[in-house]
Every structure is written in C-alpha cells, then in structure tokens.
Amino acid sequence: MRVARDKTAGKRVAKHLCRFAQTVFVLAFGVAITACSDTDRANTLSEGITNKKVRQYLLEHPELVLDDPEIARAISSARSARQQQASALWRKSLLADNASLLDSNLTPVSGVVRSQVTIIEFYDYQCMPCKASYPELEQIKKTEKDVRIIYAQLPVFGSYSILAARAAIGAHRQGLFQAYHDALMTTDIRLDADSIFATAADIGLDTERLQADMRDPQVIQYLEQMRLLADALDVTGTPAFVIGDAILLGGTRVNELKAVLDQQRSKSHQSSGG
C-alpha cells in the first residue's frame, strides 16, 4: 500500500495493516472480507479508524485504489459478487411472480412435489446440446431424490420445434409426456410432422386427440407465456437450467448440476435457519 506520503496516517496504517485493509474494504466498498478476526475488527474501530476517516483518507490518496492491483481485483470481485447477488434476487422474484405458469396443469414436472430445489430446463427438441444434456439430467433424477424438474419448452429452431413443443403439451395431457420426451430426446431422426406423429403413435398417444390439443389456443398461449418468461430471465437459447436462484446456460454435466444443487440446498438451509 502506498501510504508514505502521509507520515501520520502511514504510521497508523503500518501498525494496523491487516485491520486497516479490512476496514477500508468493508466501510468504503461494502466488501465483507473476513480474513481478520472479530477481535481485530472491533479493535480497528475502537482505535479510531472510522468510516469518515477511511473515506477522507481514500479521497486524499486515490492512488491507493488505482495503483494497487490486489485492491483493484478485490473491488472487481466484490462488484461482480454484488451483481450476481442482485441477479439471483431478481430471478427469485421473477419466478415467484410466474408461479402460476410454472405450476400450470400444462407444465410437465417430474420429481417430488415439495422439493428442496427445483430445476427448470428450457429446451428445444431439435437442440443438440439439449440432447447431449439429457442423460446428465436423467442421472440427476436418479441420484438426487429431493429435486423437482420442470420441463419448459422453448422452441427456437423453427416450425417443427414449435410443433414438437405443442405435441409435448398434448402428450402431457394424455399422461405420456415422459415417454414422448424420452423418445424425441434420444432419436437421431430429423424432426418433421411425420416423425413427430409417428413417435406419438409409437408410444400409444391418441393422435386425433393430440392434434386437437396442439391446435388448442390455450396450449399456444401457454407456450408464448413460457417464451416471455425465458426472455425475462435473459434465456435466449437452449438449453438453460434455472436452479433455485442460479442459472446455467448451455449444455451441462452431472458434476456442474450437482455443484449448483448443493449450493442452492445450502442457501435454502441457511434461509430456513437450519
């Protein structure tokens, strides 16, 4: 730290280097750094380094921040952490506002109803990264028994993707969503109207009823509402996984999903006072 220009302040900073650094960050930038003990922080404030003095010192010596790469990195990290926290709170609020959509009888869901953590997967049946992530999510379903998965159709690859998404909702109405979903996620056949309806017939769907459901304005409106939710969440492509108040964009692996799930469980445990 460059504090030699002010001899009085320099002696004080030199004597209390660690405590001063913590106080500068906590008071000036709101960064909760905990390297010093509670006793050190208490002593720092009791020995006269106050918010007003720290602020005045930084105003007189801005080079302390500008010229020290370690401080610059800490500030950048703190700013990023604050932005992530704000984004997480915003996502949590947005999902709460759209609870009726996510809990709609048109929304396919797997897992326990009262889950500790929910994964919302935005996907497209013609999306190759979605198909690559499919077995990873299936593994999570097998090993993480306290997780609920919401399947949010986001058809972004054209008219056949839209057709397949409508068919998914129709299959859900007939109680065969999972069979339909598994079939389309594991097929190598290029999607078109013929393959969509052939798959539906193969898994035992009533195709006449399915076609009627696919034309239902309620189904069309539901998919539009899901698209608007995705837009609000800044999800512009597939796949995307909203896990609690966190989000993973793009293809993912089991270890990545588990890491975020563990983080969200910990948050949930802390917020419940456990």
Q: Give me the chain's average pLDDT, please.
A: 83
- DSSP H helices, the chain, are 7-15, 17-23, 38-46, 51-60, 63-66, 69-97, 99-102, 128-143, 159-173, 177-186, 193-202, 207-214, 217-232, 254-271
Same domain, residue pair 32 and 150: no
Q: Which of 46-50, 136-140, 231-235 has the lowest mean pLDDT?
A: 46-50
- The first and second tokens of residue 226, run together, are 């899901």
* Residue 69: predicted pLDDT: 80
Same domain, residue pair 58 and 103: no
Above 50 in pLDDT, residue 204? yes
Whole-prediction pTM value?
A: 0.72
* Residue 211: predicted pLDDT: 97
Q: What percent of the chain has pLDDT over 70?
A: 79
Same domain, residue pair 66 and 134: no
| Total Cβ atoms within 10 A of residue 81 | 12
Q: What does the pLDDT average to over 234-238?
A: 93
Above 70 in pLDDT, residue 249? yes
Above 60 in pLDDT, residue 201? yes
pLDDT digits (tens, 9 = 90+) for 108-124: 999 987 788 999 999 99
Same domain, residue pair 72 and 105: no
Q: Is the CB of residue 136 less than 8 Å from the CB of residue 253?
A: yes
Q: Would you say residue 1 lies in a domain?
A: no
* Residue 30: predicted pLDDT: 45
User: The sheet that has 109-111: what strands, in order across it?
Assistant: 109-111, 147-153, 117-123, 240-243, 246-249
Same domain, residue pair 130 and 14: no
Place 53 in a pLDDT band, splitting at 50, 70 and 90.
confident
pLDDT digits (tens, 9 = 90+) for 132-190: 999 999 999 999 989 999 999 999 999 999 999 999 999 999 999 999 999 999 998 88
**Of 161, 143, 149, nearest in space to 238 by CA:** 161
Domain span holding position 54: 7-83
CA distance 173 to 175: 6
Same domain, residue pair 106 and 213: yes
Same domain, residue pair 115 and 208: yes
* Residue 17: predicted pLDDT: 40
- The first and second tokens of residue 45, run together, are 């404030």
Q: Which residue has the higher pLDDT, 215 or 7?
A: 215
Give the CATH number, domain containing residue 186.
3.40.30.10
CA distance 95 to 75: 30
Above 50 in pLDDT, residue 263? yes
Q: Would you say residue 68 lies in a domain?
A: yes
Q: Would you say residue 123 lies in a domain?
A: yes
Same domain, residue pair 107 and 171: yes
* Residue 269: predicted pLDDT: 72
Count of structural domains, the chain: 2
